[in-house]
Amino acid sequence: MIKAGVAERWRELSGRNNWQNLLKPLDIDLQQYILHYGAMAQATYDTFNSEKLSKYAGSSRYSRKNLFSRVGLVEANPFKYEAFIVKSSCDEAWCKDSNWMGYVAVATDEGKIVLGRRDILVAWRGTIEQAEWAKDFDFPLVPASEVLGRVSDRARVHRGVLSIYTSRNERSKFNKTSARDQVLSEIQRQVEKYKDEEISITVAGHSLGAALSTLNAADIVCNAFASYTDVGTKLIVDSRNSPFLKYPGDIVTWHNLEVAYLHPLAIENAPSIRRSIALVNKGSNALKDQYLIPDHWWCEKNKGMVQLSNGSWILDDHETDDNDP
């Protein structure tokens, strides 16, 4: 839950002063601020349909209108969804060449009061599919003139990440425009819609999503949506300080968003910040057994199987609404 102090301090919390005097000790408003946007990034994992047998594999399991409610982000959430980001990156997907990569949301009227401005949020999903792992390991650095333009003709970016961000497929129903084009178009629409208000643009993500967020943020700056701000300060959190986690863990849990980042951040000022430790085991087995929380508990009921009126069962694991692709 975002605290009242954020509205007055949002520029400071977003890095206007390079987070001076906010990190050691960790400022409670900043802590809650990061946890909030971290939870919005976690939603990109929670709604992704990774069931290989589903004809909707690779899509968002939940519809736009239900996204936040289905992933437990309704209470005190100052955002409403606006658009989904669909990206061509995998051969095994609900339209054979597309995967759901994230979403764009905008602060509600009530959320604007809490956040201190009309915030436009872009949340990018991290690596899940095998084809995305291949992109992760496509290391060579290449020019990014399409994204950065003439701002820096010497700038180089990770080739795999750039490919995910900019590639398009004219034959695809979903990817005639790239993820980049989809995001910038939606941001531009929201900026125009709220041009008479105070606006900010926040980009969030984890793992591959963090890399895409960095590229997306640079793109936004270079293409005149926002002015430049140095964001080079690190906040170090250490999951080894948690009394709730198994030790030493493994390479999967060391990179898990909930385990390695949000949980150790949440206990930094304990008990000032209350965040359920059950979230640790959402997609891992990192919580000590004594807390009686099952591992990997975030799953669709009956794996998406539903019973029809005649008693038969079918796989029905994708919500639709009027705007659903």
- pLDDT the model gives residue 200: 94
If asked whether residues 141 and 289 sit together in one domain, one would say: no
If asked whether residues 198 and 245 sit together in one domain, one would say: no
- pLDDT the model gives residue 226: 56
Q: Looking at the domain assignment, is residue 321 inside a domain?
A: no
Domain that holds residue 114: 6-235
Q: Looking at the domain assignment, is residue 322 inside a domain?
A: no
If asked whether residues 41 and 183 sit together in one domain, one would say: yes
- pLDDT tens across the length of the chain (325 residues): 666 688 999 999 999 999 999 999 999 999 999 999 999 999 999 999 988 889 888 889 998 888 898 999 887 688 887 878 776 544 444 444 568 899 999 999 999 999 999 999 999 999 887 777 767 777 789 888 888 876 667 788 889 899 889 887 666 565 578 899 999 999 999 999 999 999 999 999 999 999 999 999 999 988 766 555 555 688 889 999 999 999 888 888 899 999 999 999 999 887 667 789 999 999 999 999 999 999 999 999 999 999 999 999 999 998 987 655 4
Among residues 146, 115, 125, 119, which one has the least CA distance to residue 218? 146
- pLDDT the model gives residue 183: 93
Among the candidates 217, 235, 253, a domain finishes at 235
Among the candidates 205, 235, 265, a domain finishes at 235
- pLDDT the model gives residue 96: 47
Structural domain total, the chain: 2
If asked whether residues 201 and 248 sit together in one domain, one would say: no
**Whole-number Å distance between alpha carbons of 141 and 78:** 38
- pLDDT the model gives residue 151: 62
Among residues 104, 40, 22, 44, which one has the least CA distance to residue 77? 40
If asked whether residues 99 and 166 sit together in one domain, one would say: yes
Give the tokens for residue 168: 């398009």
If asked whether residues 101 and 123 sit together in one domain, one would say: yes
Q: Looking at the domain assignment, is residue 1 inside a domain?
A: no
- pLDDT the model gives residue 227: 53
If asked whether residues 191 and 46 sit together in one domain, one would say: yes
